[in-house]
Amino acid sequence: MIVKINDAIKRYQNDVLALDYLNLEIKKGEVVGLLGPNGAGKTTAINAIVGLLDLDEGELLVFGESQNTKNRPLKKRLGLVTQELTIYEELSAYENLRFFGSLYGLKGEQLEKRIIEVAKLIGLESRLKDVPKHYSGGMKRRLNIGCALLHKPELIIMDEPTVGIDPQSRNYILEFVKALAKDTDTSIIYTSHYIEEVQAISDRVYIIDQGHIIADGTVQSLIEKMKGDQITQITVKSPSKKSVETLKAMPDVKEVSLVENTYQIVLETGVSMLDKLLALLSSETILNVKNDEANLEDVFLMLTGKTLRDGGAHD
């Protein structure tokens, strides 16, 4: 077991509960997706795992050792890829890799060899002399990841590693993450506001909301919970919370959530009631109607009733 969290509690000022009896496990060599709306507790959990903050209550073990802000040796076995770029844009890519490698105690021939290895991994071996300010957004992200890999961490936390980049660069990073876990047995925690990314690369997924885990399992097992259900999405100009309650009260409707201007309606298998749904919403200007098979985003929306971009005080 690489990470084991038991009944973790973390409070902030004014007794705001960021983690509320959180339980989570990560095994060697697996990619674990961590999904939750803003304010759910994702960043707090990550900061505790990497030793940037202490829990108020509960147990946190990393590599079988108790993790806290004073356990410096444990931190050297971790890699953290942050949402914010942490590279120096005025230094060359080589100088960036050399600097971050030296922070982890690498030096001499060992450091030089590792820089070349990492540059090949992230596809920047021909651009090492260039400064990142001349890189594309995707190349900067790849260098940012490379700086966290130099010391061969056994656990890598990737917090929104694809923010603001083009689809081609995003696909490169996703394929890289999958290959890294498979080829090196590295464990990876991956968070993203793009649910399709988590669905594409994760061996298991934890969905966190209000400081605790509300669902976990493989992508397929989570989707199986909704297998056979019909997902009807009705987008209107001016939605109403009152309509949500009225829809929920209808026979054969299993769940309803409102996401921005769209009613997400889960119906029993084989039930045809689109005409009734549209009639109920006839007083609202209907802009679009769509029926889909369930995917991980549907599971997330039905469990949390929120999008990943909803606001929150503490993440």
pLDDT at 270: 64
Model confidence pLDDT, tens digit, residues 71-85: 988 988 999 998 889
Q: Tell me which residues of the chain have a pLDDT lower than 50.
A: 310-314
Give the class (CATH, top level) of 3-219: alpha beta
| Amino acid, res. 64 | G
Phi, psi values for residue 291, rounded to 5°: -115, 130
User: Distance between CA 32 and CA 90 in Å, rounded?
Assistant: 34
| Amino acid, res. 183 | D
Three-state SS string over 47-81 comes to: HHHCCCCCCCEEEEEECCEECCCCCHHHHCCEEEE
User: Distance between CA 234 and CA 231 in Å, rounded?
Assistant: 10
Give the class (CATH, top level) of 228-293: alpha beta
User: Distance between CA 265 and CA 250 in Å, rounded?
Assistant: 11
pLDDT at 87: 94
Phi, psi values for residue 158, rounded to 5°: -110, 110
Beta-carbon count within 10 A of 103 CB: 11
DSSP state, residue 132 = G
One DSSP character per residue, 166-220 reads -HHHHHHHHHHHHHHHHHH--EEEEE-S-HHHHHHH-SEEEEEETTEEEEEE-HH
Model confidence pLDDT, tens digit, residues 110-133: 999 999 999 999 999 999 999 999
pLDDT at 312: 40
Domain residue ranges of the chain, discontinuous segments joined by +: 3-219, 228-293
Q: What angle do CA 283, 284, 286 make, to 5 degrees?
A: 125
